[in-house]
């Protein structure tokens, strides 16, 4: 069992439960800034659904007090793997070593899949879809590039390849369309990987379906190598995280550069390659877990991962930018990650509604993010909560203000 290999990490958790609450930088002076940090614990209410509770279940399995069953599957999979617990543990209370909650959880999930009792049925279904048509949405693979606007003509060969991702290709096409428009406007020479772009494997890695995920990984890396591209850019935080963390965990350093579109656009703006119109409005930014905490974790942590999207937004003339109360490494998750959107949608929506409320409190008229999957869930939450706030991908906003 992979969990067995993590035995020490599992028992490293002293059940102190500091991870239940976010502890901001200036917490010594501002005790009043505390907020519950765990979406799953907050929604389900049971101690079992907070990180130490899940680890207690893992300890029980390791000590053979309990056998993995359907209930264990529910407990372990009802988590968006946002890693807020891990950041709080590591950065605030960890004496230099944090409990690697999300890694342990993913290993535990992989064990449950190997035992044949996980993942949740809905998650199993998207696995089947990926196997059949290389995307989790049961859409035909040949439709993957149908979103491409006729006005944009990517090169056949270029140094930069754009990895679109499944959500932008099939569900949130505006993100992909806006991205190519921005790249085109900035004169970036880029190519597409189609038809060799397959699902990056993020939903599979997050839900323990690793064997299939590895197949996707191998194919995608080979595809990039064969294309001759030197850099790959991503408009999806999930794909970016998967290449940057998961792929490199398995394969070692990749022979090409990885970059999120916000990184690239921040550089283009610096070089004055893009001219922007005025945007008279107030916006706030939602940090996707995969574009923040999941990359921020490490030794030493690199807070610079949070800056590019903010640099891009602040470069738009007339735009008023306001931070939400929980931002950057302490950002509240949108609730959709870790397979919860497909299997536990009520939980995902409830978590997103809390984020929407937080965004509204800033007085912003629009909520911006850099992850199509977050965007998808947040849009659904806006509809369900009746909120009037608008939701845009950062590339979408940018495409609208290009002069």
Residues at the interface with another protein (CB under 8 A): 7-8, 11-18, 20-21, 23, 27-28, 31-36, 45-48, 52-53, 56-57, 59-60, 63, 65-66, 71-72, 75, 90-97, 300-301
Contacts with 283 (C-beta within 8 Å, 6 or more apart), sequence order: 313, 319, 320, 321, 322, 364, 365, 366, 367, 368, 397
CB of 245 to another protein, least distance (A): 22
Residue at token pair 């005790």: 31
Is 22 or 244 the residue whose CB approaches another protein more closely?
22
Here the tokens at position 101 are 């909650």
**Smallest distance, another protein to C-beta of residue 126, A:** 25
Spatial distance between the Cα atoms of 221 and 251, rounded to a whole number of angstroms: 10
- When the beta carbons of 60 and 281 are compared against another protein, the nearer one is 60
| Nearest distance, CB of residue 96 and another protein, angstroms | 4
Partnered with residue 285 across adjacent β-strands are 368
Shortest Cβ 116–another protein spacing (Å): 18
Decide whether 64 or 156 has the Cβ nearer to another protein.
64
Rank residues 5 and 32 by Cβ distance to another protein and give the closer one: 32
Helices 261-270 and 394-401, axial angle in degrees (round to 10): 30
Question: Whose structure tokens read 């230099």?
Answer: 96
φ, ψ dihedrals at 391, nearest 5°: -120, 125
Please give the full DSSP string across 260-311, using - where no structure is assigned. Answer: EHHHHHHHHHHTT---B----SEEEEE--GGGTHHHH-SSS--GGGGHHHHH
Smallest distance from another protein to CB 52, Å:
7
Shortest spacing between CB 255 and another protein, in angstroms = 33
For another protein, give the closer residue by CB, 8 or 388: 8
Phi-psi region of 163 (alpha: psi -120 to 50; beta: other; left: phi over 0): beta
CB of 72 or CB of 395, closer to another protein:
72
């Amino acid at each position: 069992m992979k969990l067995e290999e993590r035995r020490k990490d599992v028992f490293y958790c002293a059940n102190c439960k500091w991870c239940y609450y976010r502890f901001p930088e200036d917490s010594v002076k501002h005790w009043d800034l505390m907020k519950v940090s765990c979406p799953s614990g907050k929604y389900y209410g049971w101690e079992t659904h907070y990180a130490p509770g899940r680890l207690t279940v893992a300890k029980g399995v390791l000590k053979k007090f309990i056998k993995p069953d359907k209930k264990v599957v529910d407990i372990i999979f009802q988590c968006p793997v946002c890693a807020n617990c891990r950041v709080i543990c590591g950065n605030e209370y960890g004496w230099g070593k944090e409990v690697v909650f999300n890694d342990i959880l993913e290993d535990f999930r992989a064990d449950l899949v190997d035992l044949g009792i996980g993942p949740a049925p809905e998650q199993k279904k998207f696995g089947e879809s990926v196997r059949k048509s290389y995307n989790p949405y049961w859409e035909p693979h040949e439709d993957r590039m149908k979103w491409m606007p006729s006005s944009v003509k990517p090169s056949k060969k270029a140094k930069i390849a754009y990895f679109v991702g499944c959500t932008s290709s099939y569900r949130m096409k505006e993100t992909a369309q806006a991205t190519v428009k921005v790249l085109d406007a900035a004169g970036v020479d880029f190519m597409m990987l189609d038809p060799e772009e397959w699902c990056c494997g993020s939903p599979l890695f997050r839900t323990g379906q690793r064997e299939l995920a590895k197949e996707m990984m191998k194919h995608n890396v080979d595809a990039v190598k064969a294309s001759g591209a030197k850099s790959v850019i991503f408009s999806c935080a999930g794909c970016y995280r998967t290449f940057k963390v998961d792929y490199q965990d398995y394969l070692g350093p990749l022979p090409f550069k990885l970059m999120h579109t916000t990184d690239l656009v921040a550089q283009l703006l610096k070089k004055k390659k893009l001219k922007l119109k005025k945007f008279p409005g107030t916006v706030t930014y939602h940090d996707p877990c995969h574009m923040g905490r999941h990359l921020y974790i490490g030794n030493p942590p690199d807070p610079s991962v949070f800056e590019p999207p903010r640099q891009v937004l602040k470069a738009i003339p007339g735009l008023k930018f306001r931070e939400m109360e929980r931002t950057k490494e302490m950002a509240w998750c949108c609730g959709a990650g870790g397979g919860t959107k497909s299997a536990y949608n009520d939980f995902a929506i409830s978590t997103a509604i809390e984020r929407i409320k937080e965004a509204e409190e800033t007085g912003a008229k629009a909520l911006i993010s850099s992850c199509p999957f977050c965007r998808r869930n947040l849009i659904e939450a806006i509809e369900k909560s009746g909120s009037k706030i608008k939701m845009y991908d950062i590339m979408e906003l940018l495409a609208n203000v290009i002069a």
